[in-house]
Amino acid sequence: MMRKSFSIKIFSATSLKILACAFMLCDHIGFMFFKDVLLLRVLGRLAFPLFAFFIAEGCRYTKNKTRRFLSVFILGVICELFYLVFTHTYYGNILLTFSVSILLIYLFDALIKSYYKSKWQFVLLIFTFALSTFAVYFYCSNIGLDYGFFGVISPVLAYVPYAFESKEKLLNVFDKTNASLLLFAVGLFLTIFSKNALDSQAWCLCALPLLALYNGRRGRFNLKYAFYLFYPLHLALLQLIQFLIDIF
């Protein structure tokens, strides 16, 4: 009688995204109401890596690239407008960061695919990708996006192994999974050092073991748009609570 194989890959994409939402909620509750509770801020550091990794995963499986980008970008613009209205400052929120990541991923994917089709197109896209990356670096350095340049690049690094066509056998499926997580970890390290926040941001590395348990499946429920909406809605709710506390 054959024994059923046991896998430690226990987390689906949906379950990890739910965890990411919970960690982000803890972070913002701590920031707004319990600034002295370090645990809430530490848990919050785990949110960015989980969301960033699944930006790359989403780009792998999306059937409508334009809609995916616009969903993130437009929601990011709306959130930024609220920041400007209520705080009179530019923030460069995380949805804008991820929308730029998505564009760079699409451009890198086109770059790799052009190698198999047209060498001239490949050379042109190399320059385009390099110029775009420099433009993103310049923007992050002078204007700013949440988590900075390496925050933008981290999802791109996670996507890199999957951009290569399987027929070339450069990487098999097992190697691609591990290479993706390894490159993503490099992106997180660079993000930590670029922010000069070793005392707090370094906790984001604790998300890597959770990602190592990812089973590559979406999960039972498709909550894609719910995750997009969670960011602005939970911030609006917390701001409302803060407003009511200030009144009473």
Model confidence pLDDT, tens digit, residues 112-135: 988 878 888 888 989 999 999 999
Mean pLDDT of 83-87: 81
Count CB neighbours of 184 within 10 A: 24
Report residue 33: phi and psi, to 5°. -125, -25
Most confident of 17-21, 197-201, 222-226: 17-21
Q: Under the phi-then-psi rule, with left for phi > 0, alpha for psi from -120 to 50, and beta for the rest, what region is 148?
A: left
What value does the mean pLDDT of the chain take?
Answer: 86
* DSSP labels, 38-106: HHHHHHHTTHHHHHHHHHHHHHHH-S-HHHHHHHHHHHHHHHHHHHHHHHSS----HHHHHHHHHHHHH
Cα(123)–Cα(80) distance, rounded to whole angstroms?
36
The one-letter amino acid at 200 = S
pLDDT tens track for 166-210: 545 555 555 788 889 999 999 999 988 876 555 678 889 999 999
Show the tokens assigned to 237: 């709710």
This model's pTM is above 0.75: yes
Please check the confidence at residue 156 and state whether its pLDDT lies above 90: yes
Please check the confidence at residue 93 and state whether its pLDDT lies above 80: yes
Q: What pLDDT is attached to residue 1?
A: 43
Q: What pLDDT is attached to residue 6?
A: 47
